[in-house]
Amino acid sequence: MGGLATNVTALHLRNFIDGAWVDATGNDAFEDTDPATGELIATATKSGVEDVRQAVEAARRAADGWRLTPAPRRGEILYRAGELMLRRKEELAREMTREMGKILAEARGDVQEGIDMTYYCAGEGRRQFGDVVPAELPDKWAMSMRQPLGVVAAITPWNFPFAIPTWKLMPALVLGNTVVFKPASDTPLLAVRLVEILMEAGLPKGVLNLVLGPGAVLGDALVSHPGVDLVSFTGSSETGAHIGALGGRLLKRVSCELGGKNAIVVMDDADLDLALDGIVWSAFGTSGQRCTAASRVIADRGIAAQLTDRLVARAKKLRLGPGLDEQNTDVGPVISRSALEKVHSYVGIGEREGATVAAGGRVASEGALAKGFFHEPTVLVDVKPNMRVAQEEIFGPVVSVIETASLEEAVRVVNSTKYGLSCSIYTRDVNDAFRFMRDAETGLVYVNAGTIGAEIQLPFGGTKSTGNGHREAGRAALDVYSEWKSIYVDFSGKLQRAQMEP
């Protein structure tokens, strides 16, 4: 694997446009480095507006042929892609850990999620159901069917460099759309690997095109290009708002999956051992770099002190290190120096607002860790719901503990941010659990589990500033990447006027 996109002397990643691996027209490049060690992994071609134009035009040329390919045949290509992913799972996971930093066990999970999504969407090649409904007039047939939108621009983040692209590419492709894929510039290698797999599985020329490079330039070019029919974006709420505004002026369909400020509620009757496991996993897994990461723990006053003491002890035992060191590493690096600086700045912001650092709080700078971007798992206490650390997305291994006196107060705190992606509750009271499920203003709700771990067969997405109403994964994803067409067949042999006949 890799021969399609690399040369024999060095790993150099290129665009994939109209069935060929090509360098960007500007002949510029950027570096892809290991966030744990600073080592160079690859260079990647740096695309510009002209490369976007070429990619979109290639996708448009391929659109009719792919649209007219029977959906079951499209599904078969995805099935073959899933088989290739499965065979290469370990290799893909190891490359992901080097490129993005997450520990190897999590990288394997990321790849597995991509496999799951690919198989799931392959099945939709034979399940793109419409409706046949009774017509109100005699000798008339009424039905609906899905049709592809055309060209999809898929703009994906670095934190799930394999799984999230499959969330976008697989439903788009099985529904008959062609795609221009723009991955995060921090993780170009996994994007190249995914494209290689899909092409090896038999995807026709021009159906999938890849452009590598910076988000601001390429993103705006894709959103504003008249040949792009849908923009699917995952990233920050600020960037999503910009994309939504730009696309809206062009009456372009835009699907945004954005930020989160997720909370775990722990009631006084909870199993604290189970709750602690969920908090540690949700707050510090992927070094807190998930849109569903638990950034707040909302603890009932009756158990808050005990829970906090135990959480602090657990956080202090977590070991930082390279993700490939499975025996000695619990938490890997954050993605970049700028991310490290942002995460650490929130420790100071919290302290200035009155929070106390109970665990962690420092950039790791000793020994080999100094070569990478490591931040200690951090627990902030004495946090009030209106503090910035309790309101703003940090996207790092920092969790704030907030005390509340009742379920009602806990729900108010859960709902007090501008985000609405994920939340969870730990309780043995079934009535409290159902009240929480009903009243939490989030797209994902967990009971006696953490805030992470969504499965691909259910809709994924949130409310408020977490997105613009669309959902990824599950059958709901089909509505994002297709358009409904209603069809009426009148075989009466005469003019029949709907709503006007007796």
- For the stretch 113-161, pLDDT in tens is 999 999 999 999 999 999 999 999 999 999 999 999 999 999 999 999 9
Mean pLDDT of 342-352: 98
Residue 7 pLDDT greater than 90, yes or no: no
Alpha carbon distance 188, 214 (integer Å): 11
Write b or e for each residue in 325-362: b if 16 or more Cβ atoms lie within 10 A of its Cβ, otherwise e. eeeebebbbbbeeebbeebbebbebbeebebebbbbbe
- Residue 128 φ/ψ, nearest 5 degrees: -85, 70
Residue 1 pLDDT greater than 70, yes or no: no
Mean pLDDT of 230-258: 95
Alpha carbon distance 28, 44 (integer Å): 9
Is the model's pTM score more than 0.75?
A: yes
Angle between helices 71-87 and 104-123 (to 10 degrees): 160
Which of 57, 124, 257, 376 is catalytic? The answer is 257
Token pair belonging to 292: 């569903």
Alpha carbon distance 282, 290 (integer Å): 9
Which of 57, 95, 124, 291 is catalytic? The answer is 291
Mean pLDDT of 311-334: 98
| CATH class, range 262-447 | alpha beta
Mean pLDDT of 370-375: 97
pLDDT of residue 95: 98
Q: Give percent of the chain above pLDDT 70.
A: 98
Which residue type is seen at 237?
S
Alpha carbon distance 335, 190 (integer Å): 15
Confidence of residue 248 (pLDDT cuts 50, 70, 90): very high
500, with CB counted inside 10 A (0-12, 13-18, 19+), is: exposed
Residue 455: in which H helix or E strand, if any? none
Measured over the CA atoms of residue 388, residue 377, residue 93 and residue 42, the dihedral's sign is positive
**Which residue, among 203, 218, 221, 159, has the nearest Cα to 4 in the 3D structure?**
203
Of the CA atoms within 13 Å of residue 178, those in its CB half-sphere come to: 29
pLDDT of residue 10: 61
Residue 9 pLDDT greater than 50, yes or no: no
| CATH class, range 15-258+467-486 | alpha beta
Confidence of residue 198 (pLDDT cuts 50, 70, 90): very high
pLDDT of residue 171: 98
Alpha carbon distance 293, 285 (integer Å): 8
Mean pLDDT of 53-67: 98
Residue 5 pLDDT greater than 50, yes or no: no
* Residue 382 neighbours by CB under 8 Å, 6+ apart: 354, 355, 356
Q: Where are the domains of the chain?
A: 15-258+467-486, 262-447
Annotated active-site residue 257? The verdict is yes
CB 387 within 8 A of CB 348: no
Average model confidence (pLDDT) for the chain? 96
